[in-house]
Chains A and B, each alone.
Chain A
Amino acid sequence: MSELPILSITILLPLISAVYITFFISQSKSPNKQIYAMYVAVLCGALTLLSTIYLLIKFDVTKNSFQFVERYSWFAPFGLEFHVGVDGISLYFIFLTALLTLICIIASIFTVKKQIKEFLLCFMLLEAACIGAFISLNLLLFYLFFEIVLIPMYIIIGVFGGENRVYAAFKFFIYTFLGSVFFLLALLFIYKTTYSFEMAKLNILLPSLNIETQKILWLATFIAFAIKVPIVPFHTWLPDAHVQAPTGGSMMLAGVLLKLGTYAFLRISLPMFPDACQYFAPYVEMLSTFAIIYGSLVAFAQTDMKKVIAYSSVAHMGFVTGGIFSFTEVGVSGAVFQMISHGVISSALFLIVGILYERNHTKQIEMFGGVATVMPKLAVLFMIAMLGSIGLPGTSGFIGEFMSIFGIFSSYKVLGSIASLGIVMGAIYMLGLYKNIMFGEINNAQVRKFKDLDPYEYVALIPLILLIIYWGIIPSNLLNVINPSVQNLINIFAK
Chain B
Amino acid sequence: MSKELIKIIPEIMLLALALIGQLIAVFSKKNKYVVYLVLAAICLIAVLIFDESWQILSNYPDAGLGQGIFGMDASNLSRIITLAFTFGTVIFYQDYIEITGYKFKIEFITLMLLSTLGIWIAVSADNLLSLFCGLEMQALPGYALAAFNNSNSKSSEAGLKYFILGALASCLTLFGMSFTYGFSGSLDYSIIKQTLNNGAEQNIGLIIGVTLIFTSIIFKLSAAPMHVWAPDVYEGAPIPAVNFFATAQKIGTLLILIHSLHYLVGEFLPVRIYLFKVLAALSMLIGAFGGIRQNSLKRLMAYSTVLNMGYILMAVSLNDIRINIVAVGYMLIYIISVNGFFVLLLSLLGQKSDEATFEDIKGAGYSRKAIAGAISIIMFSNIGLPPLAGFFGKYFIFYQAIAEREFILAILGILTSVVASFYYLKVVKVMYFTDKYTEITSIPTRMGLLILSCFSIAFILCFSLFGTCIFWSFVN
Contacts and interface: CB of A to CB of B under 8 A. Distances in A.
Interface of A: 22, 74-78, 115, 143-144, 147-148, 150-151, 154-155, 158-159, 165-166, 169-170, 173-174, 177-178, 181-182, 184-185, 188-189, 191-192
Interface of B: 365-366, 373, 380, 383, 385-387, 391-392, 395, 398-399, 402-403, 410-411, 414-415, 417-418, 421-422, 425, 428-429, 432-433, 464, 467-468, 471-472, 475
Say whether chain B's binding surface is mostly helix, strand, loop, or mixed.
Answer: helix
Contacts of A22: 373
28 contacts: A22-B373, A75-B464, A76-B468, A77-B475, A78-B399, A115-B366, A144-B386, A144-B387, A147-B385, A154-B425, A154-B428, A155-B432, A158-B428, A158-B432, A159-B365, A159-B432, A169-B433, A170-B422, A173-B421, A174-B422, A174-B425, A177-B383, A177-B421, A184-B395, A185-B410, A188-B410, A191-B399, A192-B403
Contact of A151 (B380, B392, B418, B422): B380
A177 B420 CA distance: 11
Contacts of B475: 77
Nearest to B467: A75
A115 B365 CA distance: 10
A252 to B, nearest CB: 18
The 6 closest A-B pairs by CB, nearest first: A181-B414, A144-B386, A188-B402, A158-B433, A188-B399, A178-B418
Contacts of B428: 154-155, 158
Given A77-B475, A154-B428, 18 more contacts: A75-B464, A75-B467, A77-B468, A143-B386, A144-B386, A144-B387, A147-B391, A148-B386, A150-B385, A158-B428, A159-B365, A169-B429, A177-B383, A177-B421, A181-B414, A185-B410, A185-B414, A188-B402
B399 A181 contact: no
A122 to B, nearest CB: 11
B421 to A, nearest CB: 6
A248 B316 CA distance: 46
Contact of A148 (B383, B387, B429): B387
A431 to B, nearest CB: 37
Contacts of A170: 422, 425, 429
B284 to A, nearest CB: 13
- Could you say which of B365, B432, B475 has the most chain A C-beta atoms within 10 Å of its C-beta? B432
B417 A147 contact: no
A78 B468 CA distance: 9
Contacts of B415: 178, 181
A154 to B, nearest CB: 7
A114 B53 CA distance: 57
Nearest to B463: A75
Contacts of A192: 399, 402-403
Contact of B433 (A76, A151, A166): A166
Given A74-B464, A173-B421, A148 B471 contact: no
Contacts of B386: 143-144, 147-148
A188 B433 contact: no
A158 B402 contact: no
User: Do most interface residues of chain A lie in helix, strand or loop, or is the interface mixed?
Assistant: helix
Contacts of B402: 185, 188-189, 192
B432 A177 contact: no
A192 B398 CA distance: 11
A178 B399 CA distance: 18
B299 to A, nearest CB: 20
A79 B416 CA distance: 26
Contacts of A185: 398, 402, 410-411, 414
Nearest to B433: A158
A69 to B, nearest CB: 21
Contacts of B410: 185, 188
A22 B433 CA distance: 19
Contacts of A144: 386-387
Contacts of B411: 185
Nearest to A150: B385
Contact of B429 (A76, A147, A158, A182): A158
Nearest to B387: A144
A74 B469 CA distance: 11
Nearest to A26: B369
A189 B392 CA distance: 16
Contacts of A159: 365, 432-433
B422 A165 contact: no
A39 to B, nearest CB: 21
Contact of A77 (B429, B433, B472): B472
B468 A75 contact: yes
Contact of B471 (A77, A169, A182): A77
Contacts of A115: 366
Nearest to B422: A174
B468 A165 contact: no
A159 B386 CA distance: 22
Contacts of B429: 158, 166, 169-170
B408 to A, nearest CB: 12
B417 to A, nearest CB: 6
A72 to B, nearest CB: 12
A75 B464 CA distance: 7
B398 A184 contact: yes
Contacts of B383: 177
A181 B385 contact: no
A302 to B, nearest CB: 26
B472 A174 contact: no
A155 to B, nearest CB: 7
A165 B472 contact: no
Given A155-B432, A185-B398, A177 B468 contact: no
B425 A173 contact: yes
B418 A174 contact: yes
A22 B395 CA distance: 29
A227 to B, nearest CB: 12
Contact of A174 (B373, B391, B399, B421): B421
A423 to B, nearest CB: 37
Nearest to A165: B433
Contacts of B472: 77
B435 to A, nearest CB: 9
B445 to A, nearest CB: 16
A74 B464 CA distance: 8
Contacts of A174: 418, 421-422, 425
A170 B414 CA distance: 18
Contacts of A78: 395, 399
Most B CB within 10 A of own CB, among A154, A159, A165, A184: A184
A150 B380 CA distance: 10
A309 B417 CA distance: 33
Nearest to A148: B386
Contacts of A158: 428-429, 432-433
Contacts of A166: 429, 433
B433 to A, nearest CB: 4
A148 B388 CA distance: 10
A80 to B, nearest CB: 8
Contacts of B433: 158-159, 165-166, 169
B393 to A, nearest CB: 12
Given A144-B387, A148-B386, A182 B399 contact: no
B364 to A, nearest CB: 13
A407 B437 CA distance: 55
A69 B385 CA distance: 26
A26 to B, nearest CB: 9
Contacts of B391: 147
A143 B399 CA distance: 15
Contacts of A178: 415, 418
A184 B422 contact: no
Interface centre among B380, B395, B411, B417 (most CB of A within 10 A): B395
Nearest to B430: A166
A165 B366 CA distance: 18
A101 to B, nearest CB: 20
Contacts of B385: 147-148, 150-151
A302 B424 CA distance: 34
Contacts of B468: 74-77
